[in-house]
Amino acid sequence: MKKKILACLLILFPILSLGVAKADTEKTKYVIASDSSFAPFVFQDSSNQYTGIDMDLIKAIAEDQGFEIEITNPGFDAAINAVQSGQADGIIAGMSVTDARKETFDFSDSYYTANTILGVKESSSISSYEDLNGKTVGVKNGTASQTFLTENQSKYGYKIKTFSDAASMYDSLNTGSIDAVMDDEPVIKYSISQGQKLKAPIAGTPIGETAFAVKKGSNPELLEKFNKGLANLKANGEFQKILDKYLASNSTTTSSIADETTIWGLLKNNYKQLLSGLGITLSLALISFVIAIFIGIIFGIFSVSPYKSLRLISEIFVDVIRGIPLMILAAFIFWGIPNFIESLTGQQSPINDFVAGTIALSLNSAAYIAEIVRGGIKAVPVGQMEASRSLGISYGKTMRKIVLPQATKLMLPNFVNQFVIALKDTTIVSAIGLVELFQTGKIIIARNYQSFKMYAILAIFYLVIITLLTRLAKRLEKRIQ
Ligand code: ASN
């Protein structure tokens, strides 16, 4: 068994490291990761651009200090992972400075002080922590609020439910599957000011200063530039202007909740984003499927080879890949491997999320395709191979000319099936923060809380695409048959 595992790591490692690009030692541009929905710190405005205190602040500091930035918004937990694995250079996401975090992050000077606070539905009767006994409180994974809840759980006897993003958390509160949420005070208060039917019955508890962070020991110059820039902006009044823009009671920045209450309004405001998400979903599915067919056929043919070693390699590949959930495979490639390489070489080795997603999906589908190919070949009666070999025709030629043409016909319907599965599986890959169609929808919901309509739109998008593609594939299949 040990040998098997070692052999499969040897096979997988070169494949996985293909997509890994070495980072430049001299940085001209910094990748900054942030939350996907944490208004007023970071959220999408009505034209789908990320805005908020954090976005304005990091842009102003970059301009003040003369460096370039690229911002990604995968969500808080994913942003933290991105910085720890070297996918991003820094994180700005209303992030609280805590002692535990100081072990793994270096923090800038503080630019805000936030409390964590309990949010409940307007109609809720919860008015103290004691009322939470037996109730369920939602919280975003990896946040300071989660630490607060965990530390006080035995005292108040509530259950904790963790979410990977704000959208699903607030949705669950709205639908009643959880009784309360714990989040930063400015965030809950901002939602209330934007018309969300929430209230905060208990005074907030301090969770620390809010600051920008880099991975401990890396990018010290970026931290220094941030601090210098922040000091300059505080001195020239720019910083206060940014705060006022989002926090003052007459603040004019609103998300476009009002015009997004109908399906038509949702589509009208977000069609560009949805189409771009759809483009990513289709590219992911198609590219990974082509690669998967290639790898799958090779391993499928290995699996029926007269050579035991080839059969063994194929068996290991299929067993390992089928035995690992796709989401873990994607997280391993996107966060795990760069983290491992960095710990070995000391060099940041970020891998693009699309590349990581494509590799994960390709490997996953390849394992199933290898099985389809094996089944197809096995379904061709052995007599045919024997007859051909007894006529003196080589194994390779018999495979190519006699067995494979018949097997292919048998495999076709399964290929179509596998493609549909691969297309649906793209949604799983959104876990690494890749903004494909599903993630696009979740980001939109995080802004307007229209989960019923938005998920209905997404379901219809997938249904239409999958129906069209299966029809097309059926036609092709008929022609080939
Ligand atoms: N305030 C949260 C934390 O530091 C950050 C967030 O949810 N974006 O954990």
Query: Residue 302 domain-assigned?
Result: yes
Calpha distance 340→343 (Å, rounded): 5
pLDDT score of 21: 39
CATH number at residue 410: 1.10.3720.10
**Within this chain, do residues 408 and 472 fall inside the same structural domain, yes or no?**
yes
CA of 96 to the centre of ligand 1 (A): 6
pLDDT in tens, 341-351: 888 888 778 88
Atom number, ligand 1, closest to the C-alpha of residue 95: 4
Neighbouring C-beta atoms of residue 327, cutoff 10 Å: 15
- From atom 5 of ligand 1, which residue's Cα is the shortest distance away? 95
Neighbouring C-beta atoms of residue 259, cutoff 10 Å: 13
Query: Residue 20 domain-assigned?
Result: no
**Within this chain, do residues 231 and 287 fall inside the same structural domain, yes or no?**
no
pLDDT score of 19: 40
**Mean local confidence (pLDDT), 63-88:** 93
Residue 255 has pLDDT above 60, yes or no: no
Residue 300 has pLDDT above 90, yes or no: yes
**Mean local confidence (pLDDT), 420-441:** 92
**Within this chain, do residues 466 and 352 fall inside the same structural domain, yes or no?**
yes
Q: Which of 13-22, 202-211, 282-291, 428-437 has the lowest mean pLDDT?
A: 13-22
**Within this chain, do residues 383 and 414 fall inside the same structural domain, yes or no?**
yes
- Give residues (CB < 6 A) around ligand 1: 35, 38, 76, 93-96, 140, 143-144, 184
The amino acid present at 108, given as its one-letter code, is S
Q: DSSP assignment of 429-460, as one string?
A: HGGGT--SHHHHHHHHHHHH--HHHHHHHHHH
List the beta bridge partners of residue 180: 137
Query: Residue 3 domain-assigned?
Result: no
Residues in the chain: 481
Query: Residue 11 domain-assigned?
Result: no
Q: Indicate the number of domains in the chain.
A: 3
Mutate to test the pocket of ligand 1, among 101, 107, 184, 207 (most ligand atoms within 8 A of CB): 184
Query: Residue 92 domain-assigned?
Result: yes
CB within 8 Å of 452: residues ≥ 6 apart:
none
pLDDT score of 7: 52
Instruction: Provide the pLDDT confidence category of residue 278 given band limits of 50, 70 and 90.
Output: very high
Q: DSSP assignment of 121-136, as one string?
A: ETT----SGGGGTT-E
Calpha distance 481→473 (Å, rounded): 12
**Within this chain, do residues 83 and 122 fall inside the same structural domain, yes or no?**
no
Nearest to residue 41, comparing CAs of 92, 75, 106, 98? 92
Nearest to residue 171, comparing CAs of 192, 195, 189, 196? 196
Neighbouring C-beta atoms of residue 240, cutoff 10 Å: 11
SS3 184: strand
For residue 146, what are the domain limits?
A: 114-208
Query: Residue 352 domain-assigned?
Result: yes
**Within this chain, do residues 140 and 220 fall inside the same structural domain, yes or no?**
no
CA of 97 to the centre of ligand 1 (A): 9
CA of 101 to the centre of ligand 1 (A): 11
The amino acid present at 212, given as its one-letter code, is F
pLDDT score of 157: 97
Calpha distance 392→216 (Å, rounded): 67
Query: Residue 14 domain-assigned?
Result: no
**Within this chain, do residues 302 and 174 fall inside the same structural domain, yes or no?**
no
CA of 93 to the centre of ligand 1 (A): 6
SS3 246: helix
- Beta pairing, strands 43-44 & 50-51: antiparallel
Atom number, ligand 1, closest to the C-alpha of residue 142: 9
**Within this chain, do residues 129 and 272 fall inside the same structural domain, yes or no?**
no
> Can you tell me which residue has the tokens 């025709």?
393
**Within this chain, do residues 197 and 283 fall inside the same structural domain, yes or no?**
no
Give 220's DSSP letter. Answer: H
CA of 213 to the centre of ligand 1 (A): 12
**Within this chain, do residues 70 and 182 fall inside the same structural domain, yes or no?**
no
CA of 94 to the centre of ligand 1 (A): 5
Atom number, ligand 1, closest to the C-alpha of residue 184: 1
CATH number at residue 39: 3.40.190.10
pLDDT in tens, 58-74: 999 999 999 999 999 98
Structure tokens at 429: 């890959």
User: Could you tell me how many helices (H) and strands (E) the chain has, helices first?
Assistant: 19, 11
**Within this chain, do residues 351 and 299 fall inside the same structural domain, yes or no?**
yes
Query: Residue 17 domain-assigned?
Result: no
Calpha distance 423→467 (Å, rounded): 12
Q: Which helix or strand (DSSP H or E) is residue 199 part of?
A: strand 198-199
**Within this chain, do residues 176 and 232 fall inside the same structural domain, yes or no?**
no
